A = this chain, B = another copy of it.
Amino acid sequence: MVRALNFSAGPAALPLPVLEKAQKEFVNYQGTGMSIMEMSHRGKHYDAVHSGAKARLKNLMNVPDTHEILFLQGGASLQFSMVPINFLKKNETAGYILTGSWSEKALKEAEKIGKTKVIASSKESLYRSIPSRSEWGDEKDLAYLHITSNNTIYGTQWHEFPDTNVPLVADMSSDILSRPVDTGKFGLIYAGAQKNLGPSGVTVIIANKQWLSQSTNSLSKFLDYNTHASADSLYNTPPTFAIYMLGLVLEWAEEQGGTEGLERKNKEKSALLYDSIESSEGFYRGHALNGSGSHMNVTFTLPDQDLEKDFLAKASEHGFIGLNGHRSIGGCRASIYNAVPYEACEKLAEFMNSYRKNHSARSFTFQ
């Protein structure tokens, strides 16, 4: 088998050894004569998978004992509602920092629940950067402050997380586990798994227990974080296979040197692509401004849309998958999550360089 050069934005590439291990034991898990998918979520085999994944994540992300790890469903989209349903009380205001479409969606759902305030936004400059602290409005007295740690569509990323006196909530769907994070400083982190953690269908929550206990949700048992916290994410049947895959990805992440090792590799990978952009003499233009560029999604445009179309078509012929920009803004995007190999990025950088040279030469000829 030739592995695809997979730069999809999510669901995205998974580590090959993880896929191979899961394939091997897919029908007959540990000699039980059953698939892990066929087992009770309250039995000993699944229990080891469930608690194992939790323990590995705790260790890899250095989750302090003050915080709880939950495995839920519904993706970030359900979290957009669950966060305010649980934590935005009457007469309180939740703050949102807008750094892209996903932040906007999170804000919109909070507006349905209670009062909100935009503390900072880079929307007017086309979300090319993360607003610096000096651009923030007043964030004290907020119920919480919500940020999106990495912006897949625009290719920007928070490179440092702010200190603040209010509970900090982060949608880390697209860069969780890509670098060391001071998990303890967050009130709540949420992340759909389908970029860095595993297949789609499981959502990871890391939340401060003290804060969780202050939830005032009375709307729905399922939508109450405490329901899941007190049941160790076994209140109802969890997405067992997705959590099993998550556990295997976490095991692989340990073998990569944990978040430090992964961050080093991710920076090496993104440097290959940013170098191709920066050395292209304006042929490729990065969407993100210097200092805000993401190590997970490298976004760029070409001189015009015809060239972009041609570039994407040729890239596709060369086996590169998923390089189209998000349908909302167009352009090109290479998503280089943890499981995308360095070699694939090298090939893409080479392709970009050679396409640029061929094109420049040709356009020169035809001038």
Residues of A with Cβ closer than 8 Å to B? Answer: 1-4, 6, 8-14, 16, 19-20, 22-23, 26-28, 32-35, 37-43, 73-78, 80-81, 85, 105, 108-109, 112-113, 192, 194, 199-202, 218-223, 235-242, 245, 321-322, 327
Contact = CB atoms under 8 A, between A and B. Distances in A.
B73 A75 contact: yes
Contact of A22 (B26, B38, B236, B322): B26
A25 B349 CA distance: 30
Nearest to A10: B237
A81 B240 contact: no
Contact of A2 (B6, B33, B108): B33
Contacts of A73: 73-75, 78, 201, 239
Contact of A32 (B4, B32, B78): B4
21 contacts: A2-B33, A6-B34, A8-B39, A8-B40, A10-B40, A11-B237, A13-B38, A19-B27, A26-B26, A73-B201, A77-B221, A77-B222, A78-B222, A80-B220, A81-B220, A81-B221, A109-B221, A112-B218, A112-B220, A239-B242, A241-B241
A348 B194 CA distance: 41
A38 B19 CA distance: 10
A28 B19 CA distance: 10
Given A81-B223, A200-B239, 16 more contacts: A3-B34, A4-B33, A9-B40, A11-B39, A19-B26, A19-B27, A22-B26, A37-B245, A40-B322, A73-B75, A73-B201, A74-B222, A75-B236, A85-B219, A108-B221, A201-B201
A328 B7 CA distance: 48
Contacts of A245: 37
Contacts of A78: 73-74, 222-223
Given A26-B23, A35-B19, A112 B11 contact: no
A2 B41 CA distance: 22
Given A11-B38, A38-B14, A109-B220, A76 B6 contact: no
Contacts of A75: 73, 236-237
Contacts of A27: 1, 16, 19-20, 23
Nearest to A113: B219
Nearest to A322: B40
A202 to B, nearest CB: 7
A76 B38 CA distance: 18
A76 B73 CA distance: 12
A41 B11 contact: yes
A303 to B, nearest CB: 27
A40 B11 contact: yes
Contact of A200 (B10, B11, B240): B240
B23 A37 contact: no
B236 A77 contact: yes
Contact of A35 (B14, B85, B221, B238): B14
Contact of A237 (B4, B14, B200): B200
Nearest to A202: B201
Contacts of A202: 201
A82 to B, nearest CB: 9
A261 to B, nearest CB: 22
A240 B11 contact: yes
Contacts of A223: 78, 81
